[in-house]
Amino acid sequence: MMSTLALLRPVARAALRHAARPSLVCARSFSASYSRNFPPSDGGLTNILSGGDAPAVQVKTSTPNGIQLADGLVLPSACIFLNGKVFLWNVPEKTWDDWKTEHFEIFETVVPKPEILLLGTGERAEMVPPHLRQYLSNAGIQVDVMNTRNACSTYNLLAEEGRRVAAALLPLTPRRWQDAPPS
């Protein structure tokens, strides 16, 4: 009986040693490295396994019913795409009548500011009044005016390139948000 146990012990030890040895095929080495690109509050370490920023919201199409997002949601009235998010935009129904600089204040307060604002003005491109264009220019934002369909596709393209782009989109058929306070 003693001889059987004596024979099993070396075999069991060898099996354990073999199982504990890392496989060269599956072994990976992860490390954090010092980087001067990050502020000192990060400790200078880069987490290579982190997910990163959420992707920007994408526009699928613009229809008479509203602006359809890639996930299928339809926004029936004016909206702003900024920093990967969508904001409801309460503006006057008629383009440029009673529009004030207050309708564009979000672009001045957001950090970081977009480098370019795509302004989709509905079915056709309508030039921005000089006082609004000057306000946005003073805020350091370049404005490109186009119809809403072109603004949607241009926004998608620039957002995929990683540009700091914003889009202020008016629907093809002007309408106000339900229950919105007067603009």
Query: What are 162's two structure tokens?
Result: 């990683």
| Long-range residue pairs from 65-74, CB within 8 A, at least 24 positions apart, any chain | 66/171, 67/148, 67/152, 67/169, 67/171
What confidence tens digit (pLDDT) does each residue in 32-78 have? Answer: 333 344 444 444 454 445 555 555 688 998 888 899 999 899 999 99
Q: What is the pLDDT of residue 94?
A: 85
Question: CA-to-CA distance for 119 and 103, rounded, in angstroms?
Answer: 13
Q: What is the pLDDT of residue 175?
A: 74
Residue ranges per structural domain of the chain: 2-42, 59-170
CA distance to 7, 13, 19, 23, per residue, from 16 (Å): 15, 5, 5, 14
More confident of the two residues 44 and 99:
99
CB atoms within 10 A of CB 139: 17
Q: What is the pLDDT of residue 141?
A: 93
Q: Is residue 145 predicted with pLDDT exceeding 50?
A: yes
Q: What is the pLDDT of residue 52?
A: 56
Q: What is the pLDDT of residue 93?
A: 83
Where does 59-170 sit in CATH, by number? 3.40.1230.10
More confident of the two residues 160 and 5:
160
What confidence tens digit (pLDDT) does each residue in 100-144 have? Answer: 999 999 998 899 999 999 999 999 999 999 999 999 999 999 999
Q: What is the pLDDT of residue 180?
A: 63
Question: CA-to-CA distance for 51 and 43, rounded, in angstroms?
Answer: 19
For tokens 């989709």, the residue is 120
Q: Is-above-0.75 flag for pTM? A: no
Label residue 25 by pLDDT band (50, 70, 90): very low
Total count of residues recorded for the chain: 183
Residue 71: exposed, middle, or buried by beta-carbon count in 10 A (0-12, 13-18, 19+)?
exposed
Q: Is residue 97 predicted with pLDDT exceeding 70?
A: yes
Question: CA-to-CA distance for 121 and 150, rounded, in angstroms?
Answer: 10
